[in-house]
Structures are given as C-alpha cells and as structure tokens.
C-alpha cells in the first residue's frame, strides 16, 4: 500500500543537512547560503545546492535582496511535508500494532492448548 507520498518532497527532507537547514531557517528566520553555511559542516556551495533542491520542491523560497539572496521556509509546503511524515509513521505504527496483536493472540492460543 506504500502510503502515497510525494517522493520529491520526502527525499528533500531525507537529507540530514537539508533537515538542519530547515531547522535553522525556522529558528532564525530568513537566511542566505553564506549565513547558513557558517552554521553547517559544509561549504557555501554545498549549501547553495541544497537550497536549490529545497527551492525546487517548494520548501523554501529565495528572494534577491541587493547582493544577497534571502531564503525562507514556505510554511504551507513544510506543513505538507510534516503531514507526510505523520502519515507514513501512522501507517507503520498501525501495522506494528496489528502484528503485535496477532502475535499476542497466537501466544494466548498456544498457552491455552498447552493448558489442555
């Protein structure tokens, strides 16, 4: 059933650097490739590429401001991403519960038969 998910959106937030970038932008407001790279273990160019990826899937928007380019999180799109995380989590959680319930039922059954 594979929980219909936007793979592009998911893989955008699948990268740990990109996740941290979103965290930084959420916590500190709009930022530039340079300002973000100062808080990350990679170069400005790498950050720039990640920003391009995030921009492409609409998780952030970049706006030129003089010689800088300010990026900020698109809240609606991030909310959608959060919803997908929740959806996949809920699906797996439900399956795990079901498996556990079945396992317990089998266990109970086994004990009953042993008791005969």
Partner DNA sequence: TTGATGCGCAACCAAAGGTTGCATATGGCA
Partner DNA sequence: TGCCATATGCAACCTTTGGTTGCGCATCAA
> Which residues are at the interface with its own copies (CB under 8 A)?
1-3, 5, 7, 10-11, 14-16, 19-20, 22-23, 26-27, 75, 78-79, 81-82, 85-86, 88-89, 91-93, 95-96, 99-100
Q: In the complex, what is the shortest distance from the CB of residue 65 to DNA, in angstroms, rounded to a whole number?
A: 7
Give the Cα separation of 52 and 33 in Å (integer): 10
Nearer to DNA, 15 or 107 (CB): 15
Residue 60 β-bridge partners: 73
Residues 34, 83, 95, 105: which binds DNA (CB under 7 A)? 34
Torsion 112-113-114-116 (CA) sign: positive
Give the Cα separation of 3 and 66 in Å (integer): 43
Choose the binding region for DNA from 29-37, 73-81, 85-93, 98-106 (rule: CB under 7 A): 29-37
Residue 31 β-bridge partners: 71
Residue given tokens 């160019």 in the structure block: 45
Residues 42, 87, 94, 99: which binds DNA (CB under 7 A)? 42
3-state secondary structure of 44: helix
Give the Cα separation of 39 and 109 in Å (integer): 57
Residues that bind DNA (CB under 7 A): 11, 15, 17, 32-35, 41-46, 48-50, 53, 62, 66-69
């Amino acid at each position: 059933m594979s929980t219909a998910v936007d793979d592009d959106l998911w893989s955008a937030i699948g990268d740990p650097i990109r996740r941290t970038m979103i965290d930084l932008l959420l916590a500190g407001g709009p930022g530039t490739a340079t300002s973000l790279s100062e808080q990350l273990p990679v170069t400005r160019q790498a950050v720039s590429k990640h920003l391009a990826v995030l921009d492409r899937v609409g998780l952030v928007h970049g706006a030129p401001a003089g010689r800088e380019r300010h990026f900020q999180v698109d809240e609606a799109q991030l909310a959608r991403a959060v919803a997908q995380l929740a959806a996949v989590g809920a699906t797996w959680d439900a399956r795990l519960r079901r498996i556990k319930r079945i396992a317990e039922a089998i266990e109970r059954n086994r004990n009953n038969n042993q008791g005969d």
